[in-house]
Amino acid sequence: MPRLPLSDFLTASAEAPIFDARAPLEYAQGHIPGAVSFPIFSDDERAQIGTTYKRVSQDKAVLLGLDFFGPKMSQMVKQAQKLAPNKEVRLHCWRGGMRSGAMQWLLELAGFKVHLLDKGYKDYRRWALAEFDRPRPLVVLGGLTGSGKTDVLHALTRRQQPVLDLEGLAHHKGSSFGAIGQAPQPTTEQFENELAWALHQVPADAPRLWVEDESRTIGSVAVPGPLYQQLRQAPLVVLEVPRAVRVQKLADEYGRHDPAALAAAILRLRKRLGGLVTKDAMGAIGEGDMEKMVTLVLDYYDRTYTHGLEGRPDVVRVPTDTCDPETNAELVLAALPKP
């Protein structure tokens, strides 16, 4: 069967959706960005086949797989026709073996043009992890909590600056409050998959790649070690926004969210905040006094971030009296020499 190397597979016709023939649990753990789950076996069926392969024989496992596959073939073709009306698809399983081979046979029998990924999803994972070892022209945007760093990154994007939005990919803003108002976080594997693809989209000749200053973990996902080391050694541009401005910005943002979610975030910090501050912050939430709550919590975050700046190389400080992202985008661009 003709097989495409990964580079050709990823750049094939955009009108040919990527079908992932692995089981739903495999897909949920991690998949090629944009791929559609199109399993040949359910999770339970896959488990039964694997057990039969190990305890009985490969031949029996194949026959069991055919028993599962046969009754579903007609429905699979109908589903494929809905997902790919042009009747052209890209297809893969774990390593380009029997599952994708069987699915290719079925779809080609039904008149589809099928591009099969050589070596399967396993090859995408190998490629994705290798992406994090490549040197990148990172410039890190830092600043105390409430400085509006993510908004500035978006403003830089509007100025045609290459930006890597780690928090956007992680669906988390990095603090104890970071999950509030966000979609559920991906698995670390899927975060890596999306991150590698985002890095791959950056032009090879880009003189800079802007990224927000982050901890190694963003909520439940982790920034890959090689990329994190580059981030820690890259030039750091620190926005210096007055505390009162930051308090007002955060109070406005969190005032729109569920008080119960805010209280849960405070309780996760209680060991670091101390009993009295935790009690006062919880009381402020109950009274709807977001400015007081933010002021109490900000002391902890400011101390933590300031301590983390110690020993960082190439720090450029950019004073500003506003959180306006358009203004601050211009300021951070002006603070660096032209590439």
Which residues form the catalytic set?
93
Alpha helices in 87-220 (DSSP H): 98-109, 120-131, 149-158, 166-170, 188-201
Distance of alpha carbon 232 from alpha carbon 226, whole angstroms = 10
CA dist 103 and 169 (Å) reads 31
DSSP string, 60-106: HHHHHHHHHHGGGHHHHHHHHHHH-TTSEEEEE-SSSSHHHHHHHHH
β pairing state of 3-4 and 113-117: parallel
Cα(120)–Cα(140) distance, integer angstroms: 35
Triad 14, 19, 22: Cα angle to 5°: 155
| Interior angle at CA 273, CA 269 and CA 277, nearest 5 | 120
User: Among candidates 300, 323, 326, which has minimal Cα distance to 242?
Assistant: 323
Dig out the tokens for 258 from the structure.
Answer: 């569920």
Three-class DSSP labels, 13-69: CCCCCEEECCCHHHHHHCCCCCCEECCCCCHHHHHHHHHHHHHCCHHHHHHHHHHHH
Distances, alpha carbon 196 to alpha carbons 32, 133, 235, in Å: 10, 11, 22
Q: Which amino acid is at 115?
A: H
In the block, which residue shows the tokens 């990527």? Answer: 18
DSSP 292: H
